[in-house]
Chains A and B, each alone.
Chain A
């Protein structure tokens, strides 16, 4: 923790010009692993192109095998964000007044900046309350997001960090649960909206789903994700911290996002039907046995 605080102090003390100068030198020449340049921001790990490609490949394979490795998915996101994609997302923020304000203020989302007590005390159907309810229902905390390390441009690194920290707000906005099926649906939505390659790669995890889940994805959630992700405004430009007390349906309407059919309800209904069927079958066989 102390280390983190020190880094924060370091960031304040370093003149911006110096950071910019480092960024230029990094862009203008490639380096070899033996002489790695200094980081552009605290926590930055400069990688060569080959290292980035290796990181992308390795993290993609490993996270497909074990989707609970959030750190690997994060690394995959960073390794594949350049060239182009993270710059596009930053430019989308720069084209929007709120997006620009976010880039200027650089707010961070964690349990320290957002008090759970305050969120839980908000009226029903506000953005903040919906977010808190979602966190409580799924049993997760906003502190599970790792720091960006592999993106060279410090502003783009923040954009990636912001996307990552807002991910749970997207969950709350769409109501999609953290089960694999819900995550894939949300990733598809995020890809249509942010165009980050990692989100598209993540949807390959449908190969690991059960058949009925896969059918549901193709029939309900993929069409929803593509339509809503593409037609809605860029969700990265939502200043969530300022929207907490707002009606969540109003925000959905403003962004142009429809809430999809609740996945947990479907899954529950399906599970019950399956159980009932099994029960009925058992009872039928039991009665046969009596005869």
Chain B
């Protein structure tokens, strides 16, 4: 990291020192840098660090677009990608890390030719959404059956999919296209600037050093390397935000049936509890995936429960009052018994809550901390950030992965433009359009989810009444609801 700070200092000095003198300063630094770094870096047009959904779809998109197919691209990933490639689970097992893919993400994946490689029998679209307030019971129902009656055709609100199914499909597409140098099981040791040699001057180019000793110089270095992005750290871009003091508990559940509407019409359910929202999202058949945002202490407690009691807690979370839930969280065991008693004395409408969970897949209960982060900018000189490296969002709207896909789509479009217009794809000026397109849109979504989280963690007082009136009002205002649905699906009018 030393060269980074040194060069940043030089750049800062640039404001005060005339250009020829600062050039001299850089030249002096180069003198000893070239002594220590003897291996010559190989030069790439695009080096992508991170082989998650965002990184892989970037490479698939670049390779499938005629304009960018000739770029020399490389992927660096610390995990073993062959496991992802060979992703195969029996039809009665699902990975616990699932994401909701909006129709606009699916359209993009289809355009780049990756969607056909995703195992469709493991993807579940849903056409209905039930969201309600855990304290007042106020409810909003999103249902695209009404749209169908209006003659616009039934479209799913979103598709539930295992992250592994997506990355595996993307890898297959990349393999099919070929031309990507994949360096998996390789850790990034250091990212710094290159040096000047006889043929080429790489002093302004980022160079990625891998633990295998390889060095990759990038015309454009893309950080798709997650929330603790090394690429972002190299570029000196700050990421700001806060932790929610919440954990998301995930699990794969088996329900008593395949949903009230059967396989043809599946519903996603979300209830806002004072500790955070709990969501049950449909997977094919009798399976559902759970995302339960709750305090770290309660999340830890949930993970200690026996499967029977865990299932009871999940069923309770969608049915019982917050008072009952708070009490059941204090029990070391016996939640199953407590739930069966309380369910008799609690009023709920069976058709508007998820079917009872009857089983939880072994080893699928896990949790992760929830936070909000947003990088100050997505671009730097020869650097672009996509996906979680640029932003981390609360999962309550299921938008995290879709934001990443939106980033990739926009970045690829920007690169295409630069290539077809003969620009250098790495300079900040060429990348500007990507930042302009994505930053405000992502920032708005981050803000909306953040405010929703904060609004619904209030347990009592006038705010509970106001938010309930608001939710009921939106529920009865058809056009407003349709607008919100279109926005959530990513198919609506662009407002930012």
Instruction: Give me the interface of A with B, judged by CB distance under 8 Å.
Output: 16-17, 20, 23-24, 27, 91, 94-95, 97, 100, 103-104, 154-155
- Set A20, A94, A103: member contacting B321, Cβ < 8 A: A94
> How far, in whole Å, are A231 and B379 apart by their CA atoms in the complex?
60
Closest to A154 in B: B345
Q: Return A245 CB to nearest CB of chain B, in Å.
A: 28
Selected interface stretch from B167-175, B269-277, B323-331, B404-412: B323-331
> How far, in whole Å, are A20 and B341 apart by their CA atoms in the complex?
13
A94–B324 touching, CB < 8 Å:
yes
A-B contact pairs, 23 of them (CB 8 A): A16-B344, A17-B344, A20-B345, A20-B346, A20-B347, A23-B347, A24-B347, A24-B348, A27-B347, A91-B321, A91-B323, A94-B321, A94-B323, A94-B324, A94-B327, A95-B323, A95-B326, A95-B327, A97-B327, A100-B327, A104-B341, A154-B345, A155-B345
B327–A24 touching, CB < 8 Å:
no
Q: Does B349 contact A (CB under 8 A)?
A: yes
Q: Which residues of A contact B323 (CB under 8 A)?
A: 91, 94-95
B327–A20 touching, CB < 8 Å:
no
Q: Return A236 CB to nearest CB of chain B, in Å.
A: 14
- From 326 to 346 in chain B, residues with beta carbon under 8 angstroms from any chain A beta carbon are 326-327, 341, 344-346
Q: Which residues of B contact A16 (CB under 8 A)?
A: 344
Q: Which residues of B contact A97 (CB under 8 A)?
A: 327
Query: Closest 7 A-B residue pairs measured CB to CB?
Result: A16-B344, A91-B323, A155-B345, A94-B323, A24-B347, A23-B347, A95-B323
Q: Which residues of B contact A155 (CB under 8 A)?
A: 345
Q: Return B334 CB to nearest CB of chain A, in Å.
A: 11
Q: Return A106 CB to nearest CB of chain B, in Å.
A: 11
Q: Which residues of B contact A103 (CB under 8 A)?
A: 345
- Set A24, A91, A95, A100: member contacting B349, Cβ < 8 A: A24
Q: Return A48 CB to nearest CB of chain B, in Å.
A: 19
> How far, in whole Å, are A151 and B341 apart by their CA atoms in the complex?
21
Further pairs besides A24-B348, A95-B327, A154-B345: 13, Cβ < 8 Å: A17-B344, A20-B344, A20-B346, A20-B347, A23-B347, A24-B349, A91-B321, A91-B323, A94-B323, A94-B324, A94-B327, A95-B326, A104-B341
Q: Which residues of B contact A23 (CB under 8 A)?
A: 347
Q: Which residues of A contact B321 (CB under 8 A)?
A: 91, 94
Q: Which residues of B contact A91 (CB under 8 A)?
A: 321, 323
> How far, in whole Å, are A184 and B466 apart by their CA atoms in the complex?
38
> How far, in whole Å, are A179 and B185 apart by their CA atoms in the complex?
86
> How far, in whole Å, are A83 and B323 apart by their CA atoms in the complex?
17
Q: Return B139 CB to nearest CB of chain A, in Å.
A: 12
Closest to A96 in B: B327
Q: Which residues of A contact B349 (CB under 8 A)?
A: 24
Closest to A158 in B: B345
Q: Return A27 CB to nearest CB of chain B, in Å.
A: 6
